[in-house]
Amino acid sequence: MSGLEGLYQQIILDQAKARHGDGPLDHADAEHHEYNPTCGDELTMRIRLDDSHTRITELAWQGDGCSISMASASTLAELAAGRDVDEVHGLIDGFRAMLRSQGQGEPDEELLGDAIAFHGVSKYVMRVKCAMLGWVALEACLTEASASPTPVE
């Protein structure tokens, strides 16, 4: 079962239970719902931004899904809250690149922090979507926010 333990590292199983960032968020500046029709996993991401829309001040998500999708949303919540939007874009890009690596290379721990635990998921093509669920939702939130005018000039 070494392959399985590479996929489900303890930190992932712990994050799936911890569900950091799980909950509602009123007055969100952006909200996005992601749904995976093959398994029924779904997640709604909500964020609040600072006045200049350059920093994520609050982030919360609600969803239901497999341990990989829930753990990755939990990890993302810890990593992205309070960070600059540009940094978070870099984080998402790096996470996506790692998940597309098919197990090759070494993940960039400086960039990805605890999210490197999901490197093992990249060997399981059918699970990459699970790990990306919350991250794709956050990316869509950022796109939505950047398209809308900042509330205060």
Q: Minimum distance between the CB of residue 17 and another protein, rounded to whole angstroms?
A: 6
Residue 105 three-state SS: coil
Rounded distance, CA 130 to CA 132, Å?
5
Residue 140, φ and ψ in degrees, nearest 5: -65, -35
Q: Minimum distance between the CB of residue 151 and another protein, rounded to whole angstroms?
A: 35
Considering the complex, state which of residue 43 and residue 47 has its C-beta at the smaller distance from another protein: 43
77: tokens are 């919540």
Q: How many residues bind another protein (CB under 8 A)?
A: 21
Among residues 3, 23, 24, 113, which is the contact residue for another protein, using CB under 8 A?
A: 3
Residues 11-30 that bind another protein (CB under 8 A): 13, 16-17
Is 134 a binder of another protein (CB under 8 A)?
no
Q: What is the DSSP string of 50-63?
A: -TTSSBEEEEEEEE
Q: Minimum distance between the CB of residue 38 and another protein, rounded to whole angstroms?
A: 6
Residues 43-72 that bind another protein (CB under 8 A): 64-68, 70
CA 99, 115, 90: angle at the middle one, nearest 5? Answer: 75
Residues 80-119 that bind another protein (CB under 8 A): none
Q: Which residues contact 12 (CB under 8 A, 6 or more apart)?
A: 67, 68, 71, 117, 118
Binding site for another protein (CB under 8 A): 1, 3-4, 7-8, 13, 16-17, 38-41, 64-68, 70, 124, 127, 130
